[in-house]
Structure 1
Amino acid sequence: MTKKIYGIRNKILIFAMALILGLSLSFLLVMVSFIHEERTAIIDIGMNTSSQMVDSMDELFSDIKEDTDGIIVDSFVQKCILNTNLNVKEEENLLHNLLTYTEDLQASTYYIKNTGEIYSYSGGNINTKNQYVDTLLNTDYAKLHLFWQNASDIYKDKSVDSVGMYAIRNIRSIDTLIDPDRILIEIQPDKISQVLQVNSDERFNYFIVGPDKKIYAKKCFHEIDDETLIKIQKAVSDQNMVKLPEGYVFTSYHKDSDMYFVSYISDAEMYQSVKSALGWMFIFMGAAIVFAIVFGFTASQKLSEPVQMISKEMQDFSENSLSKEMHIKTNTELDEIGKSYNTMLHKIKDLMNQVQDKEKEARDLEMESLMYQIHPHFLYNTLENIYMLARINKQENIMLMVDSLSKLLRITLSNGHKIISLEDELTHVKSYLDIQKYRNNNLFEYEIICQDNLNNKKVPKLFLQPIVENCIKHGFSQIDSGGLIKIEVKSEYENGDEKLIFIVRDNGKGMDEKDITILNENIKNQNLAQPSVKEGGYGIINVARRLQLMCKKVSMHYSSIVGMDCTIEIVMGEDYMDEE
């Protein structure tokens, strides 16, 4: 089944559509969240405005109560309670005291004697009998009462037809049990307006509602029809908030005055700010969508052309295309892709040249190997003839030399194997040491100690010979005889894995600490460029390099005492990279 491939242009368009969808969903979430937050904020404002009107009313009530408390305890007023008939002087003093206590209220104040006489500095003829007022005062004898009433029920002048707020309170004698006098205070409209004007949010309308659920004062910033007003009156209750079909009603109750303070906001006003914000959001959203569409088409067009060119060059790639470079100029990462493609072409050319060189080298090596297959047989036969002549002539030294050389050559060639048995490796190094003993007129002796059962272990070929050669060439350079090379092979186990340990020690001149440090550092870093100056460690570092390439786990370390000995320890596992 062929896999469907989407072009980059389609993918960019899909991305643009996904971006538009994401923006739309984000806009929807923001809109819902904004509406919720705005609604919550307006509800908090409505609750606060009602509470603020209650607080303002509480201040007015406290002022009236404080003034009437002063009137009650005034000594002259107490005398007037007991005096049924006041002369002109006493009346003037009484009115002066009343004015002193109620001046801050800027209200009309009436002092009503229990005998029916009325004293006032404001003028006006009021009814001394009022059933509603009598009911209030009889309900709570000593309490200050605030109430709403039509002026025609308060004043004898029936032409006055307006509703106002009044305060009434009994003036009792402190010392004598007699019928109390009364003080009536007409609350000026501006005081009521101050209660309503504590709020300045013009989205709301504000009302003062009496215990009979009638609206007695209001401050409206928006027209409200009669039907809605009736619903607002019915919604007034002890509940703080009531939702009407037209809007929200927020109510706070003032216990001392027995009045309700109401804030009302219509749905139209509540969501007016939301509509304005949503309008801007829709404009922004529309602009974002248009931008996403235009950007998607433009970007897809601009980017798809070079991508299509890259795709075509890749599909048509062949050996004949190695000289055909791409030149892309988009000021994007595609330019780097074009440069990388051109770099790849150059590298492929270089690799092809290297492969051709390697193939030629392999053919040359194959020819050379075929020739070497002939040479060993001729060499072995020649050595065998020399050995027989030496035996006939009883030349034992020559016989030993030829025998050692024959063994050394057989193991060195070993049919091209890189890994041989430990037994063959030790035989090879023994043959080499025998030849060197003969050449150097018994300059040294050697000793090989191998732990039992290790002969069949596999090791890299010919790694010991350069080491013992280094012992002879450098370790014994300052002696004529008495040299000793000791080779020790053993095995140990670490975490269940067996490892072979080779220790080669000579009793030559040794090396100082500085040379040992340099040599170990070069072995560790496989540094062929800077061998030990005095000891010429090329061969040792080559051994280290070969062991690192062939063994998965291997370490080499030199130690020495100047004038006494030099020791190298090689530790290797049995896992090799290439066992052929």
Structure 2
Amino acid sequence: MSIKKSSGIQKKYLQHTLVLLTLALLLSSMGVWVYVRKNMTSVIVDKYEFMNEKMGISLDNLYEKSDEVTAECITDDSVQQSLKAKGLENVEKNALSKYFAYIDLDDVAEYCYVDNKRNVYTKSYSNITYEEFKESGFGERLSGSYAGTEWFFTEDTLFGTGESALFVGRMVRSMDYAHEPGMIFFKMNDQFLKKLMENKEAMEETAVGIMDSSGRFCMQNFPSHFSLSGEDEKKLKSLAESGKSGIISQGQRLETGILQAYRQRESGLTIFTIVPNSVLTSGLNQILLVLIGIYVLVMLIAVGISLYFSRVFTRPIQKISREMENFDGKDFSHKLDIHTDTELDKIGHSYNEMLANIEQLVGEIKKQEKELRSSELHVLINQINPHFLYNTLDTIYMLARINGEEKTMKMIQALSSYLRLSLSKGSDIVTVADELENVKSYMEIQQIRNADLFHYEIDCQVEASKRWILKLILQPLVENAIKHGFDDIFEGGLIRIEVKEVSDRLSLTVYNNGTAMEQEMVDKINALGKTPIVELKNCFADQKHGYGIINIMTRLRLKYGEDVKFEYEVQGDGTKCRILLPGDGRKNDEL
């Protein structure tokens, strides 16, 4: 399966796997790179530190050799004889000139010995006079030295070549008498110092050079691709002029590479090696290529394994997805059969249970729809019954009128009015005027049934025809007042109904002067008035006496919400019930 044809979850799985794998490889490669670079740099630097130290030791040996040779020259009999008051014969002079040609010091290009009587001894073809020696300024080179061997790199003004070269010089003093000393100078050819840099590997890879105590380059051998920066040259010159000796720089980081330097104490020459950056990174580049190859191979293997396992894990998920997409809500026979020993088995089982539940719910809904249609049919049929009832009451009213039965006429008229307002064409909301008319009809019927038991008063202080209210609120309260308040009296009862506006709320009050309600019952009813609608519904069980107080509370809460106030109050010898409705009581969308 290719990634393009894979599912969305498989794509995301592969994407996240590749991201995590790439991040892991990147971090590991960075760690390996830093570790290998540090170790390889250390190995390379150690290698060239050792090589530079060897060259420094070789430089020490060269100086010691030159010092031994010049000391031998001083102790030679003919040299000591040349310093005495009596000069040498010509034969002796020629022999002395030839003596310096056979000293045990390699790579001597020229030599010059000046005794204390201004005699100059050189190779036969040099022919240097004392005046020429004086003008060369070489005599001043040894003015600060008593008897030590001096090395100096300078322009050849002594033998007249004008080229820069290394000279070895020393004062030659008499061992027996306090005579003026002589001076001896050896001009060394380039091979003398080049022997220090005979390591071919070093010559090919590193920059090697020698500087004198003034910071001037005596000799250098840089690779073709290497160029010393101005800043690095300043650092080298500073080291050469520092006056320190031995290893004066070890692993110092420069712009162009890593520096190792050794300064020879007596001669003041500094020999250095610089390992270029290209040498430091050449081995690392090869290792980097190997690492990249390994990581690419690991990436390919990981992608292959991820593809395989992603297919194993996503195949059941794809099966679940297809079944859910193809489910049309009608065919419940397609069950999932998944066996992966993972949580997906539970999902498949839950899906099968869901199908069974949906099938059951669909059956119940169809049954309820059938019952609803039957109920609607009964409602349509029952709509005929009120009309039949009204027509029958009208007929009875006409018969009572013909027979002159005024009470019967009045009772039938009140009952008809009560029924018409109670039904209200199925509406829950009526005007305050209709609600008052309804309760008035009910009270007139009760007055006919219970002569002289009570009389009533209605005080409406609002525009009744434009204010709306939930129907059948006042009638149950009046019914309770007649049944319970007037239970112990036979005449003189009073029911007063008051409707007014209090603080932008519609206030409905029903008062009766009958037997006052017990305070315990008042407290219980008032507590119910503050009960949440969910708990109030659980109390809605006692309806054997018709619409009860809990009925009124429940319907008010359902219609107006929790912002309804319903309370009883013992007032004098009677009982008052007050209802406060939110808003101004006008008909609106909420109602």
TM-score normalized with structure 1 length:
0.56
Offset of 1:424 from its aligned partner?
1.7
Deviations 1:15-63 (A, max 9, x none): 52575367548866986899799999989xx9xxx9xxxxxxxxxxxxx
Report what 1:546 is aligned to. Answer: 555
SS at match of 1:227: coil
SS at match of 2:234: coil
Contact 1:522 1:528 in 2 (8 A): no
Contact 1:448 1:487 in 2 (8 A): yes
Report what 2:234 is aligned to. Answer: 238
Report what 1:153 is aligned to. Answer: 169
Report what 2:524 is aligned to. Answer: 515
Q: Structure 1 509/300 Cα, relative in aligned 2: closer, same or farther at 3 Å?
A: same
Alignment of 1:417-428 (within 5 A): 417-428=427-438
Deviations 1:325-378 (A, max 9, x none): 324344556445434433432332333233233333333333433443333233
Report what 1:372 is aligned to. Answer: 382
Amino acid at match of 1:299: S
Aligned-partner Cα distance in 2 for 1:382–1:230: 125
Contact 2:456 2:494 in 1 (8 A): yes
Report what 1:502 is aligned to. Answer: 508
Contact 2:467 2:587 in 1 (8 A): no
Amino acid at match of 2:392: T
Aligned-partner Cα distance in 2 for 1:444–1:136: 150
Amino acid at match of 1:237: E
Report what 2:538 is aligned to. Answer: 529
Question: In percent, how many aligned pairs have the same letter?
Answer: 27
Report what 2:319 is aligned to. Answer: 308
Aligned length: 430
Matched, 1:489 2:495: no
Larger mean Cα displacement after TM superposition, 552-561 or 398-407: 552-561
Amino acid at match of 1:546: R
Contact 1:419 1:459 in 2 (8 A): yes
Alignment of 1:143-292 (within 5 A): 152-153=168-169, 210-213=212-215, 227=223, 231=227, 236-238=232-234, 243-244=255-256, 247=257, 264=275, 266-269=277-280, 283=294, 286-292=297-303
Amino acid at match of 1:338: G
Report what 1:433 is aligned to. Answer: 443
Deviations 1:121-145 (A, max 9, x none): xxxxxxxx974575899xxxxxxxx
Aligned-partner Cα distance in 2 for 1:133–1:535: 141
Aligned-partner Cα distance in 2 for 1:561–1:250: 111
Report what 1:384 is aligned to. Answer: 394
Amino acid at match of 1:315: N
Deviations 1:163-184 (A, max 9, x none): xxxxxxxxxxxxxxxxxxxxxx
Alignment of 1:80-91 (within 5 A): none
Aligned-partner Cα distance in 2 for 1:365–1:528: 24
Report what 2:358 is aligned to. Answer: 348
Contact 2:433 2:465 in 1 (8 A): yes
Aligned-partner Cα distance in 1 for 2:152–2:497: 125
Aligned-partner Cα distance in 1 for 2:170–2:345: 96
Offset of 1:406 from its aligned partner?
0.7
Deviations 1:499-533 (A, max 9, x none): 54434444532543641453124464452333699
Q: 2:469 aligns with which of 441, 459, 462?
A: 459
Contact 1:526 1:544 in 2 (8 A): no
SS at match of 2:407: helix
Contact 1:531 1:537 in 2 (8 A): no
Report what 2:367 is aligned to. Answer: 357
Q: Structure 1 8/347 Cα, relative in aligned 2: closer, same or farther at 3 Å?
A: farther
Q: Structure 1 316/379 Cα, relative in aligned 2: closer, same or farther at 3 Å?
A: closer
Offset of 1:279 from its aligned partner?
5.5
SS at match of 2:335: coil
Amino acid at match of 2:368: K
Q: 2:575 aligns with which of 536, 554, 565?
A: 565
Contact 1:412 1:462 in 2 (8 A): yes
Report what 1:142 is aligned to. Answer: none
Offset of 1:427 from its aligned partner?
1.3
SS at match of 2:7: helix
Report what 2:132 is aligned to. Answer: none
Matched, 1:9 2:45: no
Aligned-partner Cα distance in 1 for 2:414–2:483: 20
Aligned-partner Cα distance in 2 for 1:326–1:381: 64
Aligned-partner Cα distance in 1 for 2:259–2:377: 107
Amino acid at match of 1:295: S
Offset of 1:459 from its aligned partner?
3.1
Aligned-partner Cα distance in 2 for 1:38–1:294: 30
Aligned-partner Cα distance in 1 for 2:313–2:214: 77
Aligned-partner Cα distance in 2 for 1:463–1:446: 17
Amino acid at match of 1:545: T
Offset of 1:409 from its aligned partner?
0.9
Report what 2:127 is aligned to. Answer: none
Report what 1:317 is aligned to. Answer: 328
SS at match of 1:424: helix
Contact 1:506 1:567 in 2 (8 A): no
Amino acid at match of 2:223: E
Deviations 1:394-433 (A, max 9, x none): 5443333222111111122233233333322221122123
Contact 1:213 1:234 in 2 (8 A): no
SS at match of 2:548: helix
Contact 1:557 1:569 in 2 (8 A): yes
Q: Structure 1 260/366 Cα, relative in aligned 2: closer, same or farther at 3 Å?
A: same
Aligned-partner Cα distance in 2 for 1:479–1:239: 126
Report what 1:294 is aligned to. Answer: 305
Q: Structure 1 343/436 Cα, relative in aligned 2: closer, same or farther at 3 Å?
A: farther
Matched, 1:20 2:31: no
Q: Structure 1 233/385 Cα, relative in aligned 2: closer, same or farther at 3 Å?
A: closer
Aligned-partner Cα distance in 2 for 1:385–1:428: 22
Offset of 1:446 from its aligned partner?
3.3
Aligned-partner Cα distance in 1 for 2:269–2:168: 22
Q: Structure 1 283/389 Cα, relative in aligned 2: closer, same or farther at 3 Å?
A: same
Offset of 1:440 from its aligned partner?
4.5
Aligned-partner Cα distance in 2 for 1:147–1:483: 145
Aligned-partner Cα distance in 1 for 2:229–2:466: 111
Report what 1:168 is aligned to. Answer: none
Larger mean Cα displacement after TM superposition, 507-516 or 146-155: 146-155
Q: Structure 1 461/147 Cα, relative in aligned 2: closer, same or farther at 3 Å?
A: farther
Question: Which consecutive unaligned segments of at least 5 residues does structure 1 have?
Answer: 1-5, 51-115, 117-128, 138-145, 162-203, 218-223
